Amino acid sequence: MNYSFLYQKVAENIEKYRKQKGLTQEELAEKAGLNRSYFWDIENGRNISIKTAYRIARALGVKVSELLDF
């Protein structure tokens, strides 16, 4: 089964919250302890682990469930 649509929805939520917080990709990547190019891949629908989603959610100040809400 292809789950790429799920990753794309998570990516859209990450981008939405990032922009609401007024952060660039680079700033959020740094806050989450991620490489900027890897973060760019995530925001473009790359497969993301729960651990990475948790790190991003913490950096955004939101719950992981908010990133998975679609």
pTM of the model: 0.92
Residue-wise pLDDT for 2-32, tens only, equals 889 999 999 999 999 999 999 999 999 999 9
Residue-wise pLDDT for 28-67, tens only, equals 999 999 999 999 999 999 999 999 999 999 999 999 999 9
Q: Per-residue b/e over 5-44, b at no fewer than 16 CB within 10 Å?
A: eeeeebbebbeebbeeeebebeebbebbebeeeebeebbe
Residue 1: band (very low, low, confident or very high) from pLDDT cuts 50, 70, 90: confident
Ordered structural domains, the chain, with CATH: 4-67 (1.10.260.40)
